[in-house]
Amino acid sequence: MRLFFVLSILLTMTITGCCSTPDLTNDRKALEEAIASFYQAIEDGDGKAAIALFDESFIMLPNGGSLKQGRANIAESWAQGVENGFRLRNIKMVDMDFDGAIAYRINQYEWGYPDENGEMQWHPTKNMHIWKKQPDESWKLYADIWNSNHE
């Protein structure tokens, strides 16, 4: 009788999901929405909206440049770059995965900036973004590293 009681409880716990797992479907949806919002902000030339998607501890590892850390330390120059014409095109996701509170996305794309005549100058490159889940369940860009393709 005691064994039947224990097995009944274990079966009930399994069926009702007492040991809940994270809702990865909603996490993935929220992550994809944050990524789409980030790229849309760049496309719209809205540097402030793009910066709002940076984690407070954001780390930038630019191609050939020094590491920069902290959203507050990067925000103004980064936002000005977007507002002055920095754009991305032909963004192709190479790989993406996440587990719990951390995610990565690897991309190939072209970035461009207008020259002195206003003509966009496009440069092939690739990057890896690390996204971090926030206490409010939103996702913020935590790290960005990119390298140019010198083909």
Q: Is the pLDDT of residue 14 over 50?
A: no
Q: What is the pLDDT of residues 73-126, one digit of tens each?
A: 988 888 888 888 999 999 999 999 998 899 999 999 999 999 999 999 999 999
What is the rounded CA–CA span in Å between residue 104 and residue 96?
6
Q: List the chain domain ranges.
A: 23-148
Average pLDDT, rounded, for the chain: 86
What is the rounded CA–CA span in Å between residue 47 and residue 81?
7
What is the rounded CA–CA span in Å between residue 146 and residue 134?
24
What is the fold of 23-148? Answer: Nuclear Transport Factor 2; Chain: A, (3.10.450)
What is the rounded CA–CA span in Å between residue 109 and residue 117?
23
Segment 5-32 mean pLDDT = 62
Residue 83 contacts by C-beta under 8 Å, 6 or more apart in sequence?
45, 46, 47
What is the rounded CA–CA span in Å between residue 37 and residue 49?
8
Q: Is the pLDDT of residue 31 over 50?
A: yes
